[in-house]
Amino acid sequence: MMYLGRIVELARADELINNPIHPYTKALIAAIPEPDPSNRLKIREVRIKGEITSAVKLPRGCRFRPRCIAYDETPDIQSQCEAEEPPLVEVEPGHYAACWLTAKK
């Protein structure tokens, strides 16, 4: 999964779809339309805000920060999100994510 030219999550396709870790991946998976008509009234929350950030004027720190609801909801990591781009780290075997929420577990 890429966001503004950077890999933010890397895993096998089935793992990425069934167990997304990065807030951007979670939002994209939640936005997939429901193909089963009997489930069409189920509402899934798409947790993302704002518009895509300009690729020529990236924010300092994490480039997903202006759209990240997890950032808003997690005050104890906000200064790190603002200061540094999170590294892509292996969170589970073969599953990598670039997010301060999971980088230090």
Exactly one of 26, 86, 91, 96 binds ligand SF4 (CB under 6 A); that residue is: 86
Let me know how many helices (H) and strands (E) the chain has, helices first. Answer: 5, 5
Amino acid at 78: Q
Taking the complex as a whole, the smallest distance from the CB of residue 89 to ligand SF4 amounts, in Å, to: 11
Binding mask 11-30 for ligand SF4 (x = CB under 6 A): ------------x-------
Taking the complex as a whole, the smallest distance from the CB of residue 15 to ligand SF4 amounts, in Å, to: 19
> What is the dihedral sign for C-alpha 26, 48, 99, 9?
positive
Exactly one of 11, 16, 81, 91 binds ligand SF4 (CB under 6 A); that residue is: 81
> What is the dihedral sign for C-alpha 32, 35, 38, 41?
positive
Exactly one of 64, 79, 87, 96 binds ligand SF4 (CB under 6 A); that residue is: 64
Burial of 50 (0-12, 13-18, 19+ CB in 10 A): exposed
Residue 99 touching ligand SF4 (CB under 6 A):
yes
Residue 25 has which token pair? 């991946």
Where do we find the tokens 């779809």? 17
Residues in contact with ligand SF4 by the rule CB under 6 A: 23, 62, 64-65, 68, 70-71, 77, 81, 86, 99-101
